[in-house]
Amino acid sequence: MRRLAATALVAAFVVTGCASQGPAFTASTPPPATPAAAATAAPAPTAPPTATPVPATPAPATPAPATPAPTAPPTATPVPATPAAATSSPGLGFVPGTTSAPRLIAMTVDDKLTFFPNVVTVAQGETVRFRLKNLGKAEHEFMLGPVDAAFADTEGTAEVAGILAGETKELIFTFDGAGPYAFACHEPGHFEAGMLGYVVVVGPDVPAVGTKANPRLIGLWMNDKLTFVPSEITVASGETVTFLISNEQKALHEFAVGPADMVDADKIDGKLVLEADEIEGHHVKTLTYTFDGPGPYAFACHEPGHFEAGMRGTVEIR
């Protein structure tokens, strides 16, 4: 099939969407009394006429108050339960999938030769169902595994091939290692054009501090609002980090990182300040940097007008 390797992985899995829940849901006034008629003088008494007895009209029986029929309790509208947050890794933002109930991450592929999303986050040991929908006309494939194997198109690496125009196919995968993992399309020319993505694994076997031999992966997203997400990052003194820089929307961006004063002045020297440039919409690039100075550090985009609009972030050294 095809080749090429790239390094390092990213954030956010699925998905999307990301990684994913919602809640369910007169007594009338009595008539006024008629006032009594005014009293008049009584006429002289006369012999009373013989009264014809009138049979008494029996008073109407007052019906006993009816006992209301029991009312059936209203049927409760069920409210879907909100899944509990993952207890093994607080703050994930999703409940990790299992072999019996994989978490769904929906992705698209298109004629621009992109995966979207192209950086996803998973929990170590999690099982994920990737659902790939082809929005274009070109045929694609989805190969997923350790970075070197996925990028080198290594025989035996998990994949789903032959995703034709308009088709949707799935791949179920369990991330039983610390990674790094990646995915790629090896239809002719697609990988070389940047049709690839990364998986950031969160778990007990993933080093908390990156080294030059094993950098820590940090997902970073850019958008048409000219912002970075996140805009603040914390690293250890001397730590090596690989940024997985994903352009979520359409505007062209770049990413420069280094000492704050040099980044702000757009002084890219390839030593203290490194740059990944021309990151197109729905594409991802990587940049590895070692924070071995005292700081302060920053990152920014210097595409025309972007920095001036506030497209900048900071790196805190702990």
Structural domains of the chain ordered from first start:
1-18+89-206 (2.60.40.420), 209-318 (2.60.40.420)
Average pLDDT estimate for 206-226: 96
Q: Residues 207-218: what's their mean pLDDT?
A: 95
| Rounded Cα distance, 181 and 8, in Å | 8
Which of 91-100, 136-145, 168-177 has the least mean pLDDT? 91-100
pLDDT on residue 156: 97
Per DSSP bridges, beta strands 284-290 and 159-163 are unpaired
287 touches 245 (CB < 8 A): yes
Give the lowest-confidence range in 11-20, 110-119, 271-280.
Answer: 11-20
pLDDT tens sequence across 43-66:
444 444 444 444 444 444 444 444
pLDDT higher for 184 or 34?
Answer: 184
pLDDT band at 137; cut points 50, 70, 90:
very high
Q: In this model, does residue 38 exceed pLDDT 50?
A: no
Q: State residue 106's pLDDT score.
A: 98
pLDDT of residue 92: 82
The mean per-residue pLDDT over the stretch 115-133 comes to 97
Instruction: Calculate the alpha carbon distances from 311 to 51, 174, 250, 255, 296 in Å.
Output: 110, 37, 15, 10, 17
Residue 209 has pLDDT above 50, yes or no: yes
Please give the average per-residue pLDDT across 167-190, as a whole number: 97
- Looking at residue 203, its pLDDT comes to 93
Q: What percent of the chain has pLDDT over 70?
A: 71
Decide if pLDDT at 42 tops 70.
no
Q: What is the mean pLDDT of residues 190-217?
A: 96
The pLDDT of residue 112 is above 80: yes
Per-chain mean pLDDT for the chain: 80
Helix and strand tally (H, E) in the chain? Answer: 2, 18
- What pLDDT is stored for residue 90 in this prediction? 52
Return the closest-CA partner of residue 171 out of 123, 130, 214, 127: 130
Q: Give the per-residue pLDDT at 287.
A: 98
**Eight-class DSSP state of 251:** S
